[in-house]
Structure 1
Amino acid sequence: MRYMHKIRYYYSLVLTAVLVALANILCAQQDSSTAVKDTMPIIDYSQQDLPLLDNELQGTYEIGGINIVGAVNRDRNAIKSLAGFREGDKIQIPGTLIPKAIKSLWKLRLFEDVQIIAERFEGKVVFLQMILKERPVLSRYSYSGVKKSHHDDLNDIVNGVMSKGGIVTEDQKRLVTDKIKEHYMEKGKLDVEVKVKEVIDNTKKNTVRLEFEIDTKDRVKVEDIVINGNENISDRKVRKKMHNTKRKGTWFRKTKFIESGYEQDKKDVIIHYNKEGFRDAKIIKDTVYREVDGDIMVELDIKEGNRYFFRDIIWKGNSLYSDNQLTRVLGIDRGDIYNPELLENRLRFSQDGRDISSLFLDDGYLGFDVRPVEVAIENDSIDLEMRIFEGPQFVVDKVTIAGNDRTNEHVIRRELRTKPGQKFSRTDIMRSQRQIIGLGYFNPESLDIQTPVNQGRGTVDIAYTVEERPADQLELSAGYGGFNGLIGTLGVTFNNFSLANIRSRSSWSPLPQGDGQKLSLRAQSNSRFFRSYNFSLTEPWLGGKKPNSFTVGMVHSAFDYSTLGSGSLKITRGFVGLGTQLKWPDDFFVSNTTLNLERITLEDYDRGGFFVQENGRNIAIKEGSFNNFSLKQTFTRSSVSDPLYPRRGSRVSLSIQVTPPYSLFRGDDYYQLSEAEILQVEKDLTLEYGPAVPPTRAEILSEVQSIENAKKFEWLEYHKWRFDSEWYFNVYGKFVIAAKAKLGVLGTYNDEIGYSPFERFELGGDGLSNQSSGITGKDIISLRGYETSDLIQNRQGGATVYDKFTMELRYP
């Protein structure tokens, strides 16, 4: 490019000289009084040094016009603005303005060549011409040699460097090519080849399209990893620590070689050696080479050194806690294997809160620091001196909250454990962080906490910055259930509702929100046999001073199979609940008390689902109205890290639901019919059947038994116990193991009355709704792979005892 510029420069110089000489000859032959010369000298300003001009042409000129040549995709007025001059401006010839304009245009990297020449002179007016050669513009791009499923990733790479409608440079093409190669090399395709072809696009002037020809080649596999020099740690354990570099093994394990992953693996191997007490371990040589078949061989030469152990640990600078107290918290004894990582965790931060820093940071000593110093190394033993700097004690001054665009500040502030005037506490900050995330209104990844310190006042400010995220839920579904027909569901849950602003029109967007209340509405129907309506409202801070939640709700479900001759079932339930956060045994405990009143009405219901046992036989409950008045008490302890996708922590709950023991206040035979009542039943049946076909004795006894069961369970009595526990362990990266155990028992007060036909347990379905089996009045316990109708116990009215144990490997 520079060579071409020099040719243009010398050509311009010679041409200018010839034209100037010719102009002088012509001027001498013409009348000197002519105002405008017939032939004008051409003055060329390029990015090279300016040639000397004839003295006659030097001076100050007014720009009479600017003619732009070669601007295809660029706005001409914008080019003039970027050049720095317009028509009517004064310029000095020769001068610095035109060379400066050329440099400005050149720096934009929009043009391959820039020239500014004087087309002609009219007295003290000069007419300029800009000769530009634009760089080509990208119209589109395509790929060949790869599957279409790869295109999205490749598009992200290309769009990160260039864009459609933008200029195309060699640097951009080279950068995109390198990034595409890196993308496939990270997948183990070390021999990937990428070529970019620039093709003129004739659909639009001065545009090009890029064709990326990609040959990924086969994945380069690691044939073997040879370990030399390891005497104390086996080859298997060393290879196991190399998470990113795996040798050929089973068919189910992929092997690939990635340079960055391999470098990290070498560090991880040394870290593992350090944990085992080999503080001097190092990789003295590593070799990576290709075999004839293209696979990679890796060889590591390790120098283990000696294994070291802790000996004496001495504390210096501690005045708040004694040496024995600090040693007990540290939990490292004389003779333990020297493990720098364990030592650092016990000093700085441990997941279980067992570390030295917590003692001081939770007591306001924000400037606390401890430095372990190796004061003696003898044979295989190391003596440590823990040098402590306690510093002054800090008090919380201001607690600020930012970023809450929808949620009212008091909703966040009431969840915080950090209060102005309290001593600074790291544990309080961590707990406040967990509480904010637990609200579900904010993005956990964006939560930021800053602690600016005022050394002079001995105070610290705490600034919480949150980012709102959608918290409301909309459920809209429709499906065809064969016999049941079309089933539709419409539900909405507002998790950040504001009842106080319901009368404020400005707050309706679409509903008042920001006070942390939960409003849930749900309707479901198949238009033929089933309909259900649900409503609930929860105030998490009743009274606004303590985290006492108050919930009120109502549920109505109706199943009408009368057109099929199977009767109907109706259930209406209202409930009121009060939840309280406890401080003992710790403040992770919550108590919930719920008062339920439910009415279940069966009218000739002949679709099963509710049974009682008499004389070893299951007797179906088909007729009657049943009242379920119960009090439910639940104790829950939850320490999960995230309510939506827990990575660590646990959730344990124990509940008992009881009804009044009605049978203790009335005789054992209160439900039995008298002789007169039995005769009346017989008369009613005879009248219903007609004199031609009178009811049989069995039909009369069945009707009597049905009426007696309806009286027996008119007011349900039972006690029901449930225990649920969930434990989460973050095993690697985002992989989480979830261990769950669930138990349930339904008991009775009076053996003569027996177990309630309602409130039993059924396994199967998704467990998300008690509509899974088409029946309410039961606890549906989810069991993947089975519908509730698949298990024989469910078809016999459910069970009075259940247990379920689950182990899951989860990934978000």
Structure 2
Amino acid sequence: MFKRYLGVLLLFGVVFFNSATAQETSLDKGKKYILGGLEVTGVKSYNEQTVVTFTGLQIGQEITVPGEEISKVITKLWNLNLFSDISFFITRVEGEKVFLELQIEELPTLSDVKITGLKKKKTDDIVKEAELKKGKKVTESFIANTKNYLLNKYKKQGYLNTKVLINTVPDTSEANAVKMIVNIDTDEKVKVKNIEFLGNEKLKDNQLKKAMKNTKEKQFGRFWKKSKFIPEDYDTDLSTLIDAYKEKGYRDARVLEDSVVYNDDHTIDIKISVEEGDRYYFGDIDFVGNAAYTDNDLSRVLGIKKGDVYNGVLLRERIADETKPDGNDITNYYQNTGYLFSRINPVEVSAQNDTIDFEIRIIEGKPAYFNNVTVTGNERTNDHVIYRNLRTRPGQLYRKENVFRTIRELGALGYFDAEQLSPNIINPDPDAGTVDIQYGVVEAGSSQIELQGGYGGGGFIGTLGLRFNNFSIKNLFNKDAYKPVPMGDGQTLALRLQASKFYQTYSFSFIEPWLGGKKPVQFSTSLSRTLQFRPTADYRDADKDQRFVITGINVGMAKRLEWPDDTFQLSHALSYQHYDIQNYAVGGLFPFSNGTSQQLAYTVALSRDNTFTNPIFPMGGSKFVISAKFSPPYSLFNGVDYANLENDPDYKLKDANGNFIDAEGNPVASVDDAAADEAKIGQEKLKWLEFYKVKFQGDWYKQLVGQLVLRTNAEFGFLGAYNQERGVVPFERFFVGGDGLGNYALDGRENVQLRGYPNNSLSNRDGSTIFNKFSMELRYPITLKQTASIYTLGFLEAGNAFDSFDEYSPFDIKRSAGLGVRIFMPAFGLLGIDFAYGFDPIYGGNTANGWETHFIIGQQF
């Protein structure tokens, strides 16, 4: 640093000394000279011409010595952060020419970092977080900042006695390079042993300890909140301590003093002395300056009456609840009707005895209208996909609820990192009554791949699935759009193949969420084909002549409703399935081994979803869907008497004496021949499947404390028949128990999760026609980053399945409890594992089912 200032001072001198010869050189102060030459000395990793280029000086350039040009060059070079010393010298003057020497000292470059005292995984994280990258210029401030970062990092984790020592040593293998050695000694975590309160009479010790959310005493068995001491959290807890008093009416409560005493066993004792003061009550509350709303309107929102115990925390929240951006407070009340520039301040106007009178002073300002609405950060997703989901448009009145509704809907798309969505209010102009808003998005992986292999069913089963959630079908034939597939139009395309020696299934589905591009009308279609082959006697191969083939197609439409509100959606779907059986006995599914059956069904569903922004980990809101699926009532108009089908000449099985006969009334040789005719009856009953099916599912999310979320769930399903003589179809049934994953099946069954029991163990072999289920989950996130979202959960679950409505008893349920973890990665979907204990016996047992382990793959959130 001395050389730097010396160089600057020399420029303002009258007499300069040649740095090489020490000969006296005369210089006219302030005279303009022609730069005759510029020599650079001290370079190590740069060449001389590069540094000259950095200066911007050119030979032949007219400069003033001393003058502004040289000062600007010095400033410019320092701003490069490449040098530790910069000095200019005049080597000689020849008439009108001046020759300069630029002497520099380069900052060393970081070539390697070695961190000691920590495990390898943690050192990798530190190198990344502290940006200890190879090639970084090593300065004293860089070393100091690194040290401070590490000390603060571990103090925040409770390691108050952390020591960090950083040394640099020259790296002889590289020019002007150093190696950095970082030694970190975290010592043990410092925990809180005792918290003692002095002076408290109105609130007990346990009430005050509870108010301190982050600073807790050591207590055996408490794993959800550690007792580590973090100074920043402790300071915050001192404020929440006073808030606990204010909530009880003690407005004047304050902390007189506090002390933290370090013990020899790596613990601390905390002593806090408080002064409680008297208890106060609300007096008159007057509103001043309000024109848009009446006093009664604002009093209703405030929810505080004269005579209520003074609660400073509640008053602050009812004016503006900073913990809830969409809270029910007066500020939001104004901002949801355009008054962005409004200001609301509660002011104490008198405090007599134990009563406090308030004025709520309001400056409403002009209503604000959106001027410019923009989105930044989308690289793959096309603008129109985002803009059609915005609830804020240019010219519209500003409503805060519409801003947050937009954030929720953008998060629900699944194309962006829901945790990083941000609305930025810019260019607010209170005089003009306008405001701009910019939505910042960070795109997340929206496509998923399913690649599995395993052994089961007598052979290897492989699965390949591809799901593109932000597809662009219009660019399907545009080769330039493949990156690696056409993306950006918000469509969903899914392909799935699962095959083994005995089983094959192919499916294709496509969803367009905005059919026509103008309204949120969703169009969906899917095709599927399933083939099941009978294995040979030795199970080494498949007999292709014995097969069961299902072909299906589904077309659906869904429309967002405006009433009761626009979170409701009404959907319709028409589906057709064709079942072709050739020399294949399907057990309880079909009473025949050759023939065909068909299903035509219409499904209508009403749903509502107002869950909060992140669809993977909702912090609040609810969603439900109620649906009805039914086929045409063929038995009402096809003229078949199913009650007396056995007496029909075409299907008659026995004569008056009970002997088996064929369709012509002739005796048959064996029961097998009679069974053939019986199969004809079964085929007639199942020629067109006839049924109706009603289902309900509801989920509610409630944020309890911090990011701890309670999810409650209720589900119900019923499968019925129009004609009891025809009976309930053997398809579309419910199989309750286990992980709820959709195992390969030929009968359209629905697998209902009920953890703590084996798969399908709570329904009979052929499935049940009615079920109900209830569950509660406590969820807590470990990380909600873009690359992976991980959360833990604990649950209570109960439910059961029944064979008919006569048997149905909603509280005759099988109970379970357990713990689990979920990992969501954009490329692979949801993965998880649950450990659950079933408290009740399954069918045929008489003891509790006990522990079960369930693996979750691709299940809904």
Q: TM-score, normalised by structure 2?
A: 0.76
CA deviations 1:153-173 (Å, max 9, x no partner) are: 3213542xx542344334433
Q: Is 1:718 matched up with 2:697?
A: no
Q: Is the 8 A contact 1:447 1:467 kept in 2?
A: yes
Q: Is 1:798 matched up with 2:767?
A: yes
Q: Is the 8 A contact 1:330 1:347 kept in 2?
A: yes
Residue in structure 2 matched with residue 25 of structure 1 by the alignment = none
Distance 2:62 2:318 in 1: 76
Q: Is 1:522 matched up with 2:462?
A: no
CA deviations 1:642-669 (Å, max 9, x no partner) are: 3333111000111111222223333134
Q: Is 1:431 matched up with 2:412?
A: no
Matches within 5 A, 1:260-659: 260-348=232-320, 354-393=328-367, 406-418=380-392, 423-444=397-418, 445-450=420-425, 452=427, 460-467=434-441, 469-470=443-444, 472-499=446-473, 513-516=487-490, 518-563=491-536, 564=539, 567-606=546-585, 608=587, 610=589, 624-642=595-613, 643-659=615-631
CA deviations 1:76-100 (Å, max 9, x no partner) are: 2123345676777799999999999
Alpha-carbon shift at residue 252 of structure 1 (Å): 4.7
CA 1:367–1:102: 2 relative to 1, 3 Å = closer
Q: Is 1:186 matched up with 2:156?
A: yes
Distance 2:212 2:194 in 1: 12
Matches within 5 A, 1:25-64: 43-44=18-19, 53=24
Range with greater deviation from structure 2 (218-227 or 748-757) = 748-757
Residue in structure 2 matched with residue 13 of structure 1 by the alignment = none
Structure with the higher fraction of residues in strand conformation: 2
SS at match of 1:293: coil
Distance 1:3 1:368 in 2: 57
Distance 1:62 1:423 in 2: 64
CA 1:77–1:275: 2 relative to 1, 3 Å = same
Residue identity in the other structure for 2:498: S
Distance 1:562 1:720 in 2: 34
Residue in structure 2 matched with residue 250 of structure 1 by the alignment = 220
Range with greater deviation from structure 2 (146-155 or 475-484) = 475-484
CA 1:312–1:107: 2 relative to 1, 3 Å = closer
Q: Is the 8 A contact 1:648 1:729 kept in 2?
A: yes
SS at match of 1:672: helix
Distance 2:589 2:353 in 1: 77
Residue identity in the other structure for 1:632: T
Q: Is 1:667 matched up with 2:665?
A: no
SS at match of 1:630: strand
Residue in structure 1 matched with residue 748 of structure 2 by the alignment = 777
Range with greater deviation from structure 2 (482-491 or 147-156) = 482-491
Q: Is the 8 A contact 2:19 2:91 kept in 1?
A: no
CA 1:280–1:627: 2 relative to 1, 3 Å = same
Distance 1:515 1:4 in 2: 58
Q: Is the 8 A contact 1:659 1:718 kept in 2?
A: yes
Among candidates 698, 717, 725, match of residue 744 of structure 1: 717
Range with greater deviation from structure 2 (497-506 or 66-75) = 497-506
Q: Is the 8 A contact 1:478 1:488 kept in 2?
A: yes
Q: Is 1:155 matched up with 2:138?
A: no
Among candidates 163, 174, 180, match of residue 210 of structure 1: 180
Distance 2:32 2:99 in 1: 13
Alpha-carbon shift at residue 419 of structure 1 (Å): 5.3
Distance 1:466 1:377 in 2: 47
Q: Unpaired segments of 5 or more residues in structure 2?
A: 10-14, 785-861
Alpha-carbon shift at residue 401 of structure 1 (Å): 5.3
Residue identity in the other structure for 2:302: L
CA deviations 1:337-357 (Å, max 9, x no partner) are: 322332233334567764334
Distance 2:88 2:359 in 1: 76
Alpha-carbon shift at residue 265 of structure 1 (Å): 1.3
Structure with the higher fraction of residues in helix conformation: 1
Residue in structure 2 matched with residue 12 of structure 1 by the alignment = none
Alpha-carbon shift at residue 278 of structure 1 (Å): 1.8
Among candidates 111, 119, 126, match of residue 139 of structure 1: 111
Residue in structure 1 matched with residue 776 of structure 2 by the alignment = 807
Distance 2:64 2:366 in 1: 70
Distance 2:596 2:479 in 1: 44
Residue identity in the other structure for 1:312: D
Alpha-carbon shift at residue 579 of structure 1 (Å): 1.4
Alpha-carbon shift at residue 758 of structure 1 (Å): 0.5
Range with greater deviation from structure 2 (442-451 or 529-538) = 442-451
Q: Is 1:788 matched up with 2:759?
A: yes
CA deviations 1:34-53 (Å, max 9, x no partner) are: xxxxxxx993279xxxx882
Range with greater deviation from structure 2 (504-513 or 750-759) = 504-513
Distance 1:74 1:275 in 2: 66
Distance 1:447 1:80 in 2: 45
CA 1:706–1:746: 2 relative to 1, 3 Å = same
Q: Is the 8 A contact 2:730 2:747 kept in 1?
A: no
CA 1:708–1:145: 2 relative to 1, 3 Å = same
SS at match of 1:175: helix
Q: Is the 8 A contact 1:275 1:340 kept in 2?
A: yes
Alpha-carbon shift at residue 759 of structure 1 (Å): 0.4
SS at match of 2:19: strand
Give the percent of matched residue pairs that are identical in Structure 1 and Structure 2: 34
Distance 2:444 2:244 in 1: 43
SS at match of 1:793: coil
Alpha-carbon shift at residue 395 of structure 1 (Å): 5.3
Alpha-carbon shift at residue 451 of structure 1 (Å): 6.7
Alpha-carbon shift at residue 629 of structure 1 (Å): 1.6
Q: Is the 8 A contact 2:691 2:729 kept in 1?
A: yes
Q: Unpaired segments of 5 or more residues in structure 1?
A: 10-16, 18-40, 612-619, 686-693
CA 1:206–1:422: 2 relative to 1, 3 Å = closer
CA deviations 1:499-525 (Å, max 9, x no partner) are: 556676766655555443x34231212
Residue identity in the other structure for 2:763: Q
Q: Is the 8 A contact 2:447 2:468 kept in 1?
A: yes
Residue identity in the other structure for 1:211: I
SS at match of 2:713: strand
Residue in structure 1 matched with residue 139 of structure 2 by the alignment = 169
Residue in structure 1 matched with residue 707 of structure 2 by the alignment = 734
SS at match of 1:759: coil
SS at match of 2:530: strand
Distance 1:497 1:57 in 2: 73
CA 1:292–1:705: 2 relative to 1, 3 Å = same
Among candidates 200, 206, 219, match of residue 189 of structure 2: 219
Distance 1:670 1:743 in 2: 34
In angstroms, what is the RMSD of aligned CA positions? Answer: 4.3
CA deviations 1:333-390 (Å, max 9, x no partner) are: 3332322332233334567764334554444444444332222323322222233344
Range with greater deviation from structure 2 (429-438 or 708-717) = 429-438
Q: TM-score, normalised by structure 1?
A: 0.80
SS at match of 2:318: helix
Q: Is the 8 A contact 1:671 1:709 kept in 2?
A: no
SS at match of 1:450: strand
Structure with higher Rg: it is 1
Q: Number of aligned residue pairs: give it.
A: 752
Q: Is the 8 A contact 2:42 2:105 kept in 1?
A: yes
